[in-house]
Amino acid sequence: MSENGDVSSRKPASRLRWDVFLNFRGEDTRDTFTDQLYKALYRKDVRVFRDNDGLKQGDSLTPTLLNAIEDSAASIAIISPSYASSRWCLEELATICEFKRLVLPVFYRVDPSDVRRQKGPFEEDFQTLERRFGVEKVLRWRNAMAEVGGISGWVFRTGCDEPQLIEQLVKRVLVELSNTPVVVAPFTVGLNFRIQELMQLLDVKRNGIQVLGFHGMGGIGKTTLAKALYNKLVSHFE
């Protein structure tokens, strides 16, 4: 419950554990593009969630995966030719869309219009899914594909410069994360009152440059307070 009494189901952004959730078809890209992208993000200290093991036949999305999607500031969906043959890729994608987080699509050797309309390499796979699970259930996955296919992303075709594309994607992620709240230690006590005092002191609507210094002995919570204040202020600035 928030301080004004409203109940919110959305997890506070300051508690997000991951910067990026990777959604991909393992058989297509796990050991190639996805692995290189993961390493490039990791080198830039981006906190990336990647499911290395994949889901076994008959499994549902585990609490770990669901929590990782919810606990990520953004998701990168790497959509490859056999992507729609995996119901789990589609289930992750639908869940990502439902959480309304930032989605950065990579169209890996596929046409974005085919993703948007579920045509080309996806048409037969979706027909198979409809026979197995029914049109109504598959419609949720179709809607997710259509939504992501309509987002301006990165198109990787045979002959493209893969390192350059990954570099561009990493730069975009870093730009997006510059306005993303940082993680604050859980179960803080008395933090909200102190943040309110600092917000009144700073008065961000006032023009001009302001400098705020934190001074005190080690271990009293200066860094925690600074991070929490940053999270409160970040939405006010580009």
**Among residues 77, 56, 54, which one has the least CA distance to residue 65?**
54
Query: Catalytic pick from 27, 92, 124, 167?
Result: 92
Catalytic status, residue 130? no
**Residue 41 identity (one-letter amino acid):** L
Q: How far apart are CA 59 and CA 57, in angstroms?
A: 6
User: Strand 102-108 and strand 154-156: pairing?
Assistant: parallel
End-to-end CA, the chain: 29
Output DSSP code: residue 53: S
Q: 18 CB contacts (<8 Å, ≥6 apart)?
A: 47, 48, 49, 68, 71, 72, 73
Residues designated as active site = 92
